[in-house]
Amino acid sequence: MNIHQLDINHLKSLETPFYHYDMELLANTLDAAKKAADKRGFHLHYALKANFNDRILELIQSKGYGADCVSGNEVQKSIDMGFPASQITFAGVGKSDKEIILALEQQIFAFNVESIQELLIIDELAGKLGVKANISLRINPNVDAHTHHYITTGLDENKFGVPNSELEKAASVLRSCEHVNLLGLHFHVGSQITDMNVFKSLCVKVNEWKNWFEERGTTIKVLNVGGGLGVDYQQPDENPMPDFEAYFDVFDKFLERNPNQEVHFELGRALVAQSGTLVSQVLYTKSGIKKNFLILDAGMTELMRPALYQAYHKIEKLGSSNQEELLNYDVVGPICESSDCFGKEVTLPISERGDLIAIRTAGAYGEVMASRYNLRDEIRYVYG
Ligand code: LLP
């Protein structure tokens, strides 16, 4: 249920701060994305890094999604949660030998390989285990995602993927790797992308590189175009889910694919962000010389995005009527850091100790990025 539909007295009886997950919205979002993808024959992998809460993974797995992982632990978690190994991919620029061995033993669908050196190591370890590793080569396409620079990944200056200048060499190394089987190509240009033109530019690059490999006699079975679809942080209730039809349409229209070529996606944020809300209590109010502060019992330890990326999250007072008098507050947490601030000059109904504050659109990169800094409590959850 939407956080505003829950009984305020019930919410006030719960220990704060906690994450509330709207499981109904999550299910609807998962269904909408899956339906739009299925219609076009696209394959969907959920990027675990956005949220690996058990209840959320259970639901995503039950809807038939694959898993996109970036650590050995995420690979193991996906397997434990019932994702079939044949639908698990493993990306990341720094896979350790131990992680590679785990993924080889589990016979996952594919490694998304990010450098020539990594390719050679996977070949060597697969040889030692007497298995063949399926891989997709991650290409850095040099496409600007026009998003926050911390979450842009597809530019020449970023550490991700094999740069264009190395592809000739990568292709020849691949031919010499006996224990590696090239399934396809992998791309991911960034996160929180709301301009569909970015994905159109990505398609152009994917087509170019696919042709480049095919001209050299290499069969490309899988085109993995990554994730990155953004959500509406400003208006979570008006836009509770992204326009999946419009998103997949771009790839349907602009990606050139042969009938036997598969298109894979790795969505994280778009699937889970809107279903999560961080609920916190006002501990204190304070009027400084220039500012009014609302001091919450949640901080950057529960939701780091505002402190790390200056990210906007809508802040609301729960259980308030439209008639209340408004005031501008800097909404801050209890952590001993000046960056521990959820929003500056936020207009809210006048609030007092004990009031509940909702920080919306916190289902992606929220609890997974939480820390115990200041020896904070473990995260609490409420589902419903
Ligand atoms: N595939 C790869 C290779 C990725 O690196 C990512 C995200 C995804 C898929 C999923 O992207 P999504 O669909 O969620 O945009 N902590 C940041 C976001 C970091 C994204 C890292 N990579 C934030 O809070 O905005």
CA of 188 to the centre of ligand 1 (A): 9
332-341: b or e for each residue (b if 16 or more CB lie within 10 Å)? bbbbeeeebb
**Which atom of ligand 1 is least distant from the CA of 364?**
24
Boundary residue ending a domain (237, 253, 273) = 273
Å from CA of 225 to ligand 1 middle:
13
152 pLDDT above the threshold of 70: no
pLDDT at residue 263, rounded to an integer: 98
Q: Identify the pLDDT of residue 158.
A: 75
**pLDDT exceeds 90 at position 289:** no
Q: Is 340 left (phi over 0), alpha (psi -120 to 50) or beta?
A: beta
> Containing domain of residue 7, as a range?
3-18+274-383
Residue 85's pLDDT band (boundaries 50, 70, 90)? very high
Residue 144: per-residue pLDDT: 75
Q: How many domains does the chain have?
A: 2
Q: In the chain, which ranges are continuous DSSP H helix? A: 8-12, 23-39, 54-62, 72-80, 97-105, 116-129, 167-176, 196-215, 244-254, 269-272, 305-309
**Cα–Cα distance, 8 to 22 (Å, whole number):** 15
pLDDT of residue 182: 97
* Whether residue 294 sits in one domain with residue 207: no
One domain for residues 178 and 45: yes
In percent, the amount of the chain with pLDDT more than 70 equals 97
Closest residue (by CA) to atom 5 of ligand 1?
188
Domain closes at, from 256, 273, 290:
273
Pocket residues: Cβ below 6 A from ligand 1: 47, 49-50, 68, 91, 151, 153, 188, 191-192, 226-229, 266-270, 305, 309, 364-365
Residue with tokens 């349409």: 249
pLDDT at 44: 98
What confidence tier does 163 reach under pLDDT thresholds 50, 70, 90? confident
Structure tokens at 132: 């063949």
Q: Per-residue pLDDT for 71 more than 70?
A: yes
Six token digits for residue 219: 């069969």
Length of the chain in terms of residues written: 384
Which pLDDT belongs to residue 150? 65
Cα–Cα distance between 201 and 196 in angstroms, integer? 9
Using the predicted structure, report yes or no on whether residue 232 has a pLDDT greater than 90.
yes
With bands split at pLDDT 50, 70 and 90, how would you rate the model's confidence at 146? confident
| Same-domain check for residues 234 and 343 | no
Task: Based on the fold, state whether residues 204 and 291 are members of the same structural domain.
Answer: no
pTM over cut 0.90? yes
Residue 288 pLDDT class (50, 70, 90 cuts)? confident
For a pocket test of ligand 1, which of 191, 233, 265 has the largest count of ligand atoms closer than 8 A to its C-beta? Answer: 191
CA dihedral 5, 7, 8, 13 (to 10 degrees): -140
| 12-38 per-position pLDDT tens digit | 999 999 999 999 999 999 999 999 999
Give the pLDDT score at 151. 63
Query: Do 156 and 206 belong together in one domain?
Result: yes
Give the pLDDT score at 155: 66
Single-letter amino acid code for the residue at 226: G
Q: Is the pLDDT of residue 116 over 80?
A: yes
Provide the pLDDT for residue 120: 97
List 152's β-bridge partners, or say none. Answer: 190
Q: What is the pLDDT of residue 142?
A: 81
Task: Say yes or no: 12 and 28 in one domain.
Answer: no
Q: Is 352 in the same domain as 291?
A: yes
Same domain, 55 and 13: no
Return the CATH number at 40.
3.20.20.10
- pLDDT confidence band for 154 (50 / 70 / 90): low
Do 269 and 376 fall into the same domain? no
Q: What is the pLDDT of residue 321?
A: 82
DSSP string of 34-86, one letter each residue: HHHHHHTT-EEEEEGGG---HHHHHHHHHTT-EEEESSHHHHHHHHHTT--GG
In the listed set 250, 273, 296, which residue is the last one of a domain according to the structure?
273
The number of C-alpha atoms within 13 Å of 317 and in the hemisphere containing its C-beta is 24
Same domain for 263 and 339?
no
Write down the pLDDT at residue 256: 96
Smallest CA-to-CA distance from 208 within 145, 164, 259, 249 is with 164
ipTM of the complex: 0.99
With a cut of 80, say whether residue 153 has pLDDT above it. Answer: no
Whether residue 265 has pLDDT greater than 70 = yes
State the CATH number of the domain containing residue 358.
2.40.37.10
CA 65, CA 47: separation in Å to the nearest integer? 10
Comparing CA positions, the residue from 248, 226, 66 lying closest to residue 151 is 226
Domain check: are 142 and 183 in the same one?
yes
Give yes or no: residues 145 and 282 share one domain.
Answer: no
